Amino acid sequence: MLDTSPTKDVDLFRKKIAEERTTILDFSYLNGVIESWWKRNNSQDIHILKTQLINLFLTYLHTEDAFHFDKVGLANGSAAICIKNIFSLDSPKLALTVHEALADLFHLTDIKYEYEEHKALYLKPSAEKYREWGNGHGDITPHSDDLYENLNVDYLALTVCRDTTNTPTAYYFPSDLLCALNDEDLGELLTTQATFISGKNVCGLKERIRHVVEFSDLYGFQFALDFRIDSHRGERMRAVHGGQHVLDKIRDSLRNAKNHVSTAETGTFLIVANRKILHARPMLNIDPSEAGRQANHSTLSTTPRLLFRSKGPRKHYYPLNETTCTRIAN
């Protein structure tokens, strides 16, 4: 945990968060291999297809691209990786297979909550009435996922199957969000705690108190920030014991904050370190009445915008204790 006393850490804090970066990879050189394999094998079960595709990636990936699989979110790694041109066929089954294979290769443990159908994101009934919802038509304010949950969600991954609305996912580095804060503000932010509150997707109410900024040698500075406002529960992030004015100051600067966008094209995979980057989305580039009509009749094959999502902790591997192993073996 971050030392809670000193403003002397502010300069180090500014320096370290300014080093976070996005890595863009282009898998065009794999596109033909993947699509040829798919046309020969697509009738098989998706579990078998995923295993085959993982082996295909490991066989044909350039070494410099495979290097990134275990670096996302580390103190000296990329906070986001966007992979373009993986495939060009508009096929939900292919998109899901690619998504699951890459999520495994990036060591993401996908979490399925009992209350949430989180995998396929597309216009759902009444979509035109909602913002702050991945299956809605409206905009989504910058946030990190599931900060109200007991577990820590390390990664969020999204794969584009199709997007005729051309609405990319936006993402924000904290260094760009904190430009409006002076040293005194940052000093206070480093000690601020907040209550994080669940929203529309959760039946009932979930809450968790977290430090807004944490630090570890392995992962560097990590953040818990959520600027969404729920239509029933209000602000999803509320400071406790002071610091609300600093959070409000960041919120007030969101409109002009620098952000990055993914590629809203078939065959794009984006993975972000959930505690290093906030993600968001503008209103879908489609008329609300058309969104409502589409939402009431959408299928995976007909919806204008279909993404697949995974989110959860990183897989951890632990060194074997030879003494313990010997004792168990005996």
pLDDT at 3: 44
pLDDT at 330: 42
pLDDT at 6: 38
pLDDT at 322: 58
Query: Do residues 84 and 267 lie in contact, with contact meaning Cβ atoms separated by under 8 Å?
Result: yes
Query: Do residues 227 and 208 lie in contact, with contact meaning Cβ atoms separated by under 8 Å?
Result: no
Beta-bridged to residue 216, according to DSSP, are 220
Q: Which residues of 180-211 are buried (b: 16+ CB within 10 A; e: fewer)?
A: ebeeebbbbbbbbbbbbbbbbebeeebeeebb
Tokens at residue 145, please? 């996922």
Indicate the residue type of 285: N
Over its C-alpha atoms, the chain yields an Rg (Å, rounded) of 21
Considering only the C-alpha atoms of the chain, give the largest distance between any 2 of them, rounded to a whole number of Å.
69
* Cα-Cα-Cα-Cα dihedral sign, residues 208, 79, 135, 104: negative
Tens digit of pLDDT per residue, the chain (330 long)?
444 443 358 989 999 999 999 999 999 999 999 999 999 999 999 999 999 999 999 999 999 999 999 999 999 889 999 999 999 999 999 999 999 999 999 999 998 877 667 799 998 887 777 788 888 888 999 999 999 999 899 999 999 999 999 999 999 999 999 998 999 999 999 999 999 998 876 766 889 999 999 999 999 999 999 999 988 889 999 999 899 999 999 999 999 999 999 999 999 999 999 999 999 999 998 888 888 887 788 888 989 999 999 999 999 877 776 555 444 444
What does 296-314 look like in DSSP terms, one character per residue? HH--TTT-SEEEEEEEEPB
pLDDT at 288: 81
pLDDT at 178: 95
pLDDT at 223: 97
pLDDT at 204: 66
Classify residue 29 as left (phi > 0), alpha (psi -120 to 50) or beta.
Answer: alpha
| C-alpha separations of 144 from 65, 141, 149, 236, 269 in Å | 26, 10, 12, 11, 18
Q: Which CATH superfamily is domain 10-312 in?
A: Clavaminate synthase-like (3.60.130.10)
Residues near 242 by Cβ (< 8 Å), separated by ≥ 6?
188, 192
Spatial distance between the Cα atoms of 84 and 11, rounded to a whole number of angstroms: 35
Query: Do residues 95 and 306 lie in contact, with contact meaning Cβ atoms separated by under 8 Å?
Result: yes
pLDDT at 4: 41
Residues near 136 by Cβ (< 8 Å), separated by ≥ 6?
123, 124, 127, 128, 129, 130
* pTM score, whole prediction: 0.90
**Residue 30: half-sphere exposure toward Cβ, Cα within 13 Å:** 25
Tokens at residue 229, please? 């406002």
Spatial distance between the Cα atoms of 152 and 311, rounded to a whole number of angstroms: 10
Query: Do residues 189 and 212 lie in contact, with contact meaning Cβ atoms separated by under 8 Å?
Result: yes
Tokens at residue 195, please? 């209550």
Angle among Cα 52, 56, 61 to the nearest 5 degrees reads 155
Q: Domain spans of the chain?
A: 10-312
Tokens 């620098």 correspond to what residue? 258
Nearest to 268 by CA among 235, 303, 234, 306: 306
Query: Do residues 164 and 298 lie in contact, with contact meaning Cβ atoms separated by under 8 Å?
Result: no
Spatial distance between the Cα atoms of 266 and 314, rounded to a whole number of angstroms: 26
